[in-house]
Amino acid sequence: MKFITFVRRHKALTLLTLISMVVLIVLFQNSDSVKFKVLFWQFSAQKVIFILGAMFLGYIIGKL
């Protein structure tokens, strides 16, 4: 019951978490062929996954 209450109160956070999980699964499956280009920089899927992981870890540490 607490989980359902949490989901109802934090709809945006729950949706963002689900979308992030889908994106990470797609990146893991296609990590050899996926390239991201932002202005002059080009990122592979492994770098994007590392950056997202570092951001998530920083968020968790910041919450403690």
Largest CA distance in the chain: 48
pTM above 0.85, yes or no: no
Tell me the backbone φ, ψ of residue 44, rounded to 5 degrees.
-85, 170
At 6-42, the pLDDT tens digits run 777 877 777 777 887 777 777 777 666 666 666 777 7
pLDDT value for 28: 72
Number of neighbours of residue 3 by Cβ within 10 angstroms = 8
When pLDDT is cut at 50, 70 and 90, the band that residue 48 belongs to is: confident
The structural domains of the chain, with segments of one domain joined by +, span 2-63
CA 50 to chain centre: 10
Give which of 64, 62, 24, 63 is closest to 45, Cα–Cα: 24
